[in-house]
Chains A and B, each alone.
Chain A
Amino acid sequence: MRSSNLAASSTGVPISRQSLEASSPRYGEKAIFVFLAACAALSVGVTTAIIISLILPTIDFFGQVSFERFFLDTVWAPRQATGRFGVWPVVVGTLNIVIWALAVAIPVGLASAIYLSEYAGPRVRKVVKPTLEVLAGIPTVAIGLFAFFALRPAAEIALPFLDWSSIFSVGVAGVAVGLMIVPLVASISDDAMRAVPRALREGAYGLGANKLKVSLRVVFPAAMSGIIASIVLAGSRAVGETMVVYIAAGRTPNLTFDPTESVQTMTAYIAGTATGDIPTGTLDYDTIFAVGSLLFVMTLGLNILAIRLVRRFREAYE
């Protein structure tokens, strides 16, 4: 065998050796690769398009309205003849919503998360967690109508000593947004707490701690970055929420922290102004984009913070 091989090569007869290269150029494979890469690149295109579509009219806007008139004034009346462009009333309106929403979502969401991760048995968990996810899936229009037609009258009955003269209420709208983001806080915090290794819990039990101490003093601090991430993400969701606040918090720009008052949030301003067919290039049109830019920057900042925090808890325990 060996000798014949040698003989063959010495006589110069070429050995047919099969190439490891593909037998055809496989253009189909390459085309598919290009298509898939284009799909992934499209997402970057979307972000770029968002930024471009926000920035260009915003530059136009600040060409007509100075920074001082936007950031240092406290009256928001952009559609009047003598337009006032102080953005604070709509920013504070949004802040109001975020405060009330987090006041509901943090205790309820964290209680649900601790219960699901530390106390609930697998059977209870298997029912409760998907049910909470259903709450997250309810369309915001439905939650808005519920807040406006059901929660607002209920709040009037429950708290008769407050002044309920306005049919809109930023407090009620904020609570409704809070209920909507409870599943977000619960589910991310639950994930973070379940990522805490068992050994930490067992060590604490071994030292004589009870379940309460293990949950609050060991698991909770160990999962802190994930828990904060969930709250930041929920805050960002509350900032960007539109329909609930548009329906239940009203449309009057109002620099107030009174929960029974009507306010206008940034999102409600955009939704309310852009529904009409306003011509491109007018100041009205540009104002929408200026407020939109501010909204985009705020939520982007919160999201980046949350992504970093989530990455930290993943790195720590996985």
Chain B
Amino acid sequence: MTADPIIPSTGRTRLAAAGARAVTEEALRGGQTRDRLTSALFLSMLLLGVSVALLSLAAILVWSIVEGAPRLDLKMITNAPSTLRPHEAGFRTALLGSLLVVGGVIALVVPVGVGAAVYLEEYANRGRWWNRLIELNIQNLAGVPSIVFGILGLAFIVRGPLSLGFVAAAGSLTLALLVLPTVIIAAREAIRAVPPSIREGALALGATRWQTIRRQVLPAAMPGVLTGIILAVARATGEAAPLLLVGAVTFTTVNPSLFDGAYSTLPVQIFNYSNRPQAEFRVLAVAGVIVMLGLVLAMNSFAVWLRNRFEQSW
């Protein structure tokens, strides 16, 4: 061992330095193996968490297919619901009801949702309190439980000011209000992503504000806007709770119409079947779940694909 130039080389300091070095090395070496162990443990816990989430998704899909497969036939789509003959009962009127209700939702929510998003992004002056109020209000509305929209539908649309009664149009309007914030928020994000230079270019060439929006901004934002609309429609297709309050509970065997007569939708009908004591109805309910999951997941994956496919970086 050579003499250390800084520490005076007395016997005592040499001893102390050697001891300190030993302790440090010991701590470092031991610490490393322990760190490696805890790191591996931590990573495996993270992976466990992720796999719980992914496996539960897989479990829901596999369970529904295994349980519902016996009744997954054409009869269940073409036959009307029945409370007496579980083997003959189907979802026809409920599927038509879903089609009607969701069609209504699309017709209502697309112009209003995109319109509100265009206003907030292109026209609204953020310095004005009412525009900030609208923004905050939309954020809050997105978090209101769906059953509260059912209450609104019952008090305002079925009865009260609009008094439509328990008809499909009331269900449409209720669900449209429910998914409106989803559409607005998605459309705003898509519109915001269009760079200002596009607008400035159009305005400089003499286009009016609306021409700029109509010909430049909206086409550029279209993939994002469509993604939001599809996600909203998927949600409306699977939603049951608010519809329970606005009348979609009846076992209707007649094809529904928009402003007249009883209606039901697919998720509500599934819920009704699952409430029956006979095992056959339970199988039928799960077969309905397969159809519903097929529809909803197809829409969701299309939305994700659309977003990835047309994602533009300016």
Contacts and interface: CB of A to CB of B under 8 A. Distances in A.
Nearest to B142: A303
Contacts of A112: 46, 49-50, 53
Contacts of A22: 208
A37 B144 contact: no
Contacts of B152: 46, 49-50, 53
A162 interface: no
B59 interface: yes
Contacts of B43: 119, 212
A257 interface: no
Task: Report which residue of B47, B53, B67, B118 has the largest number of chain A beta carbons within 10 angstroms of its beta carbon.
Answer: B53
A142 B289 contact: yes
B267 interface: yes
B48 interface: yes
A182 B144 contact: no
Contacts of A108: 49, 52-53
B286 to A, nearest CB: 7
B184 to A, nearest CB: 7
A103 interface: no
A261 B200 CA distance: 63
B154 interface: yes
Contacts of A270: 147, 150-151, 245
Interface stretch (B14-22, B69-77, B86-94, B294-302): B294-302
A46 B141 contact: yes
A138 interface: yes
A39 B119 CA distance: 8
B284 to A, nearest CB: 12
A234 B116 CA distance: 27
B260 to A, nearest CB: 17
Contact of B59 (A139, A150, A183): A150
B156 A53 contact: yes
Interface in A37-79: 37-44, 46-47, 49-50, 52-54, 57
Contacts of A134: 57, 297, 300-301
A247 B274 contact: yes
B39 interface: yes
A176 to B, nearest CB: 9
Interface in B64-121: 64, 67, 111-113, 115-116, 118-120
A8 interface: no
Interface stretch (A13-21, A83-91, A198-206, A238-246): A238-246
Contacts of A210: 35, 39
A145 interface: yes
Interface string A177-203: 001001100100000000000000000
B167 interface: no
B198 interface: no
B277 to A, nearest CB: 11
Contacts, number: 259
A240 B270 contact: no
B3 interface: no
Given A36-B115, A142-B238, A145-B286, A50 B148 contact: yes
Interface residues of B, number: 88
A142 B124 CA distance: 40
Contacts of B297: 134, 137-138
Contacts of B120: 40
A43 B240 contact: no
B155 interface: yes
Nearest to A300: B140
B258 interface: no
B144 A299 contact: yes
A171 to B, nearest CB: 16
Contacts of B155: 53-54, 57, 289
A237 B181 CA distance: 15
28 contacts: A38-B115, A39-B116, A40-B119, A42-B112, A43-B181, A108-B53, A109-B53, A134-B300, A137-B238, A139-B240, A139-B293, A141-B238, A141-B240, A142-B60, A142-B238, A179-B53, A212-B35, A212-B38, A216-B42, A233-B143, A242-B240, A243-B240, A247-B274, A274-B151, A274-B154, A275-B245, A300-B143, A307-B139
Interface of B: 35, 38-39, 42-43, 45-50, 52-54, 56-57, 59-60, 63-64, 67, 111-113, 115-116, 118-120, 123-124, 133-134, 136-141, 143-152, 154-156, 159-160, 166, 177, 180-181, 184, 208-210, 231, 234-235, 237-241, 244-245, 249, 267, 270-271, 274, 282, 285-286, 289, 292-293, 296-297, 300-301, 304
Interface of A: 22, 26, 28-29, 32-33, 35-44, 46-47, 49-50, 52-54, 57, 107-112, 114-116, 119, 128, 130-135, 137-146, 148-150, 179, 182-183, 186, 210-212, 215-216, 233, 236-237, 239-243, 246-247, 267, 270-271, 274-275, 277, 280, 288-289, 292, 295-296, 299-300, 302-304, 306-307
